[in-house]
A and B are shown apart, each in its own frame.
Chain A
Amino acid sequence: MRLLLIEDDPDLQRTLATSLREEGYAVDTASDGVEGVRKALTGTYDTMVLDVMLPRLDGWGVLETIRPAVPTPVLMLTARDTVPDRIKGLDLGADDYLTKPFDIDELLARLRALIRRSAGRASTTHELGDVVIDTAARTVTRAGEEIALTPREYSLFEYLALHRGEVVSRADLYDHLYDEDDDSLSNLLDVHVSNLRKKLGHDLITTRRGHGYSIA
């Protein structure tokens, strides 16, 4: 999952980005509203975390600019906790909000929910034959046994599972699994897929040559 974090406070930006990366997200960051708009319009993101108080262009301005061209779900972080402030954000197209200071676990849970909803899934668990992925617990089991995946492998599998029945192109996977600073070689993707096949079974992920991968 690729995420855009627009936050001007350097410490908060760093700690949030690190937390999210440790959770397997590919995180792009922006330190002001204008940079945020630019990245939101050019990048491909599964969700965005947007601070309200930003230099140059505030969070509401960012929302006004990117909606409706960018339908990515947006979670607003706000130091303002008055009801009108929250309503304003939601009415401008935010999908959720969190008031500072917030719990990192809550932020992660809300982001998972946003991504799940935008993929049109209500449940947190998906059964793919004898393989079950739980996006809330971030676990994958095969025949009731938990399979240890690296964050990258998990992200790749989760993305494919959430887009079950679709053919996901390699470009899509790069867009959603790697942040802008990532310069991993493209064959790394094949390595991750091959590792997943070893751990979860060879028939699970189908390669459509010239198109990409899919889970039936």
Chain B
Amino acid sequence: MSSFLHSIRWRIQVWHGVILLVAIGAFCVTAYHFAWDHQMRRLDRELQDSERLLIRTLMDYGQKPGDAPVPPEKLAEALRAHQITLPPAVAAQFTGTTYFTLRDADGSVLLQSDNTPADVRPLPVPTFGFGEDVRSVGNRRESLRASSRGFSSVFGRDITREIADMRRFGLILAASGLGAWVLGLVGGWWLAGRAIKPIATISHTATRIAEGNLDERIDTTGGDSELDQLARVLNQTFARLQASFERERRFSSDASHELRTPVSVLIAETQRILRRERTPAEYHEALQTCQNNAERMRGLIESLLTLSRQEAANNRAAHQPCDLADILRDTVGQLQPLATAHDVQLFADLTDAPLRGDAPALGILFANLIRNAVQHRPATARDGRVDIACRRDGDCIVVTIADNGPGIATEDLPHVFERFYRADKARTGGTGHTGLGLAIAKTIAENHGGTLSVQSQPGKGATFAVNLPVET
């Protein structure tokens, strides 16, 4: 949480607060309006009831039972003509907060209650028909009517108490709204914290891993939430990174380790030979030793680079259609001179085996296996042969390279694909034999989604089998 403006938790909190405030505010305003409208409608109904009561009373005033009531249009005349005293029950209606005033066209009072405020303003008399209005004037609510005949009425009531009630209601509403908002903020903060917490964990673990703790992994609960998926993706990335670092480390460690001996030979031999004058034959021999070791280093470097490249190259999208039989034929052709030199015959039994793959890499794979089979023969052995076959087996193409050499000891079998593992220890330092050939072959086979395995019985030769799926 370096800067709170950049913190997701804070940003969520701010947005959450704003949205919550708008929602609660809108709710409170609406509720207040409804309540106010409701209150006004109730007041208006009461005013209309009082008005109806008064008009009815006036229409019946002075009529004998059975007579028709005075029609409304005659009411003004009747009021002008007589001084009217309201019955006490009706007059009582207009004593507290409710008042009324009936006016003539000239504004003179025809009849009004004693509590009528002085500043009552009736509607102006319309030229024809009726005028009606209901309005709030200050702290009064009034229902006004006027007719073109010059008669106008105002029924009103003081609503100071109702306004105070509404104000109180508004305050309570605002207070509860504020309370709900604060509660919402606290809850939101907690929720945002809970949502952020796994991210913080991931971030801490990732930091530790970045600091070099490559073995660490983010704990996944095994769930399927977005964060679990993120953690899994990150873990996979870390695993790939670690594997890549491990490869780098092993490459440099192997390289330095394996190069030390030939470099030692170069230094020791040159220092020895330069100590004093030597015969040409001695110089020749020393230079020969140096050349052998320089070539040995070149072979090592090339093998290490090939291995490193093959380990890094698992891009199957770059694979092209190719035919294993063609690749094997080419490889056998290239290795024929080596085989002849070792007095070994190569026999190839090939059927067409098309698949998608990296043809140069597959060439290296087969060349390494065949070279291995040719070279692992005692120089004294006779009738050496290497049988190379490829055939389709279901969804796979199986390439077998079998020799009739001395075979591989049982204790060596599990290790022959390890880097720098040499089953025939005495042969270390031999040219073109780096102990990496089979490791490279296995890596290439695995890059093609295949396997490389070996079967051997001491004394009965060894058979290497490459199993490559057709659809990779």
A residues near B, CB below 8 A? 8-12, 14-16, 18-19, 22, 31-32, 55-56, 77, 79-80, 99-105, 107
Say whether B289 contacts A101, CB under 8 Å.
Answer: no
Say whether A15 contacts B272, CB under 8 Å.
Answer: yes
Say whether B267 contacts A10, CB under 8 Å.
Answer: no
- Quick one: which of B262, B272, B289, B293 contacts A104, CB cutoff 8 A? B272
Say whether B268 contacts A15, CB under 8 Å.
Answer: yes
In the complex the two chains form, what is the Cα distance from A64 to B429 in whole Å? 26
In the complex the two chains form, what is the Cα distance from A10 to B429 in whole Å? 7
In the complex the two chains form, what is the Cα distance from A10 to B292 in whole Å? 11
Say whether A18 contacts B267, CB under 8 Å.
Answer: no
- Quick one: which of A15, A18, A100 contacts B260, CB cutoff 8 A? A100
Q: Enumerate 24 A-B pairs (CB-CB under 8 Å) in ascending A order.
A: A8-B428, A8-B429, A9-B265, A11-B262, A11-B265, A11-B289, A11-B429, A12-B261, A12-B268, A12-B429, A15-B265, A15-B268, A15-B269, A15-B272, A18-B272, A19-B268, A19-B271, A79-B258, A80-B257, A100-B260, A101-B264, A102-B268, A103-B271, A104-B272
Q: Is the CB of B6 closer than 8 A to any CB of chain A?
A: no
In the complex the two chains form, what is the Cα distance from A32 to B262 in whole Å? 18
B residues near A, CB below 8 A? 257-258, 260-269, 271-272, 275, 289, 292-293, 422, 425-426, 428-429
Given contacts A11-B292, A31-B426, A32-B425, contact A102 B271 (CB under 8 A): no
In the complex the two chains form, what is the Cα distance from A103 to B263 in whole Å? 11
Say whether B269 contacts A8, CB under 8 Å.
Answer: no
Say whether A79 contacts B260, CB under 8 Å.
Answer: yes
User: B434: shortest Cβ distance to chain A, in Å?
Assistant: 13
3 smallest A-B Cβ distances: which pairs?
A: A55-B425, A100-B260, A101-B263
Chain B residues with Cβ below 8 Å from A56 are 425
Task: Indicate the member of A12, A31, A99 with the most B CB atoms within 10 Å.
Answer: A12
A10 closest partner in B (C-beta): B429
Chain A residues with Cβ below 8 Å from B275 are 22
Chain A residues with Cβ below 8 Å from B426 are 8, 31-32, 55
B425 closest partner in A (C-beta): A55
User: B426: shortest Cβ distance to chain A, in Å?
Assistant: 7
User: A71: shortest Cβ distance to chain B, in Å?
Assistant: 27
Say whether B267 contacts A103, CB under 8 Å.
Answer: yes
- Additional A-B contact list (6), CB under 8 Å, known A15-B268, A79-B258: A8-B426, A12-B429, A15-B265, A32-B426, A99-B260, A105-B271
In the complex the two chains form, what is the Cα distance from A79 to B428 in whole Å? 15
In the complex the two chains form, what is the Cα distance from A14 to B268 in whole Å? 10
In the complex the two chains form, what is the Cα distance from A19 to B271 in whole Å? 9
Interface of B is mostly: helix
- Quick one: which of B262, B264, B289, B425 contacts A102, CB cutoff 8 A? B264
In the complex the two chains form, what is the Cα distance from A11 to B426 in whole Å? 13
In the complex the two chains form, what is the Cα distance from A200 to B429 in whole Å? 46
Chain B residues with Cβ below 8 Å from A101 are 260, 263-264, 266-267
Say whether B269 contacts A100, CB under 8 Å.
Answer: no
B276 closest partner in A (C-beta): A22
Say whether A104 contacts B429, CB under 8 Å.
Answer: no
User: B393: shortest Cβ distance to chain A, in Å?
Assistant: 38
Given contacts A104-B267, A104-B268, contact A15 B289 (CB under 8 A): yes
B420 closest partner in A (C-beta): A53
Say whether A100 contacts B425, CB under 8 Å.
Answer: no
Chain B residues with Cβ below 8 Å from A79 are 257-258, 260-261
- Quick one: which of A9, A99, A102, A104 contacts B428, CB cutoff 8 A? A9
Say whether B428 contacts A55, CB under 8 Å.
Answer: yes
In the complex the two chains form, what is the Cα distance from A15 to B285 in whole Å? 11
B262 closest partner in A (C-beta): A11
Say whether A100 contacts B292, CB under 8 Å.
Answer: no
Say whether A100 contacts B272, CB under 8 Å.
Answer: no
Chain A residues with Cβ below 8 Å from B268 are 12, 15-16, 19, 102, 104, 107
Say whether A22 contacts B272, CB under 8 Å.
Answer: yes
In the complex the two chains form, what is the Cα distance from A80 to B267 in whole Å? 18
In the complex the two chains form, what is the Cα distance from A32 to B422 in whole Å? 14
In the complex the two chains form, what is the Cα distance from A12 to B263 in whole Å? 9
Chain A residues with Cβ below 8 Å from B425 are 8, 32, 55-56
A16 closest partner in B (C-beta): B268
Chain B residues with Cβ below 8 Å from A19 are 268, 271-272
User: A81: shortest Cβ distance to chain B, in Å?
Assistant: 8
Chain A residues with Cβ below 8 Å from B271 are 19, 103-105
Say whether B293 contacts A11, CB under 8 Å.
Answer: yes
Given contacts A32-B425, A79-B257, A80-B257, contact A12 B272 (CB under 8 A): no
Chain A residues with Cβ below 8 Å from B263 are 100-101
Given contacts A9-B428, A9-B429, contact A14 B289 (CB under 8 A): yes
Say whether A9 contacts B261, CB under 8 Å.
Answer: yes
A12 closest partner in B (C-beta): B265
In the complex the two chains form, what is the Cα distance from A14 to B282 in whole Å? 13
In the complex the two chains form, what is the Cα distance from A10 to B265 in whole Å? 10
Chain A residues with Cβ below 8 Å from B269 are 11, 15
User: B429: shortest Cβ distance to chain A, in Å?
Assistant: 5
User: A31: shortest Cβ distance to chain B, in Å?
Assistant: 7
Task: Indicate the member of B260, B264, B425 with the most A CB atoms within 10 Å.
Answer: B264
In the complex the two chains form, what is the Cα distance from A105 to B270 in whole Å? 12
Chain A residues with Cβ below 8 Å from B266 are 101
Chain B residues with Cβ below 8 Å from A12 are 261, 264-265, 268, 429
